[in-house]
Amino acid sequence: MEILKIIGFSLAAAIAYGILHDQVTAHLCVEYFTIAHPPVFPTESPFLLAIGWGILATWWVGLPLGLVLAAAARIGRGNRLGLTDLRPVILRLLATMALCALAAGLWGAWAVASGRSSLPGGWGRVLPPEIHVAFAGAAWAHLASYASGLIGGLAVIAWTIWRRIRPPTAGAAA
């Protein structure tokens, strides 16, 4: 049962993060979703696009990371970790991802606004110039979220394995 709790929380956390992240970026630049993404959702509402893409773009990351994390935490001998042990680490990862997204989004917007960079992916030729800065902010924020989420997720899994296999400290034995 604890395995299912870990998997479920990991999946729900990824989706919740994706929806919240996309609420910010869709309201910043809805064209990031209406032009630079395939037309999966028949709406131009930033709110609805953020919900749809927040789910669609994150479940497939949260589920496998949750499966591997649950296996790392529960399978085998030794000190098994439960959701109560992992929840704070997962929440810290999400906060770190948000900070990375904010920093990268601000950097991307600044780089385009100052002329130091063009829009990623060649979108500058397709999009009107008045949305270039907002689009760059949204694009860089998404890139940072994916990168920090993947790297951070693997780090959480590695930390979980390390925590399970490390020898107990002298003060822990009683």
**pLDDT for the residue numbered 78:** 81
- What is the sign of the dihedral through the CA atoms of 88, 90, 91 and 93? positive
**pLDDT for the residue numbered 171:** 60
pLDDT tens figures, 98-151:
999 999 999 999 999 999 999 878 898 999 999 999 999 999 999 999 999 999
Q: What is the pTM of this model?
A: 0.92
**pLDDT for the residue numbered 121:** 82
pLDDT tens figures, 41-80:
999 999 999 999 999 999 999 999 999 999 999 999 889 9
Query: Judging by beta carbons within 10 Å of its beta carbon (0-12, 13-18, 19+), is residue 56 exposed, middle or buried?
Result: middle
**Residues written for the chain:** 174
Residue 61 to residue 149: CA distance in whole angstroms: 9
Domains in the chain: boundaries: 2-167
pLDDT band of 174, cuts 50, 70, 90: very low
**DSSP letters spanning 100-158:** HHHHHHHHHHHHHHTTS-PPGGGGGGTS-GGGHHHHHHHHHHHHHHHHHHHHHHHHHHH
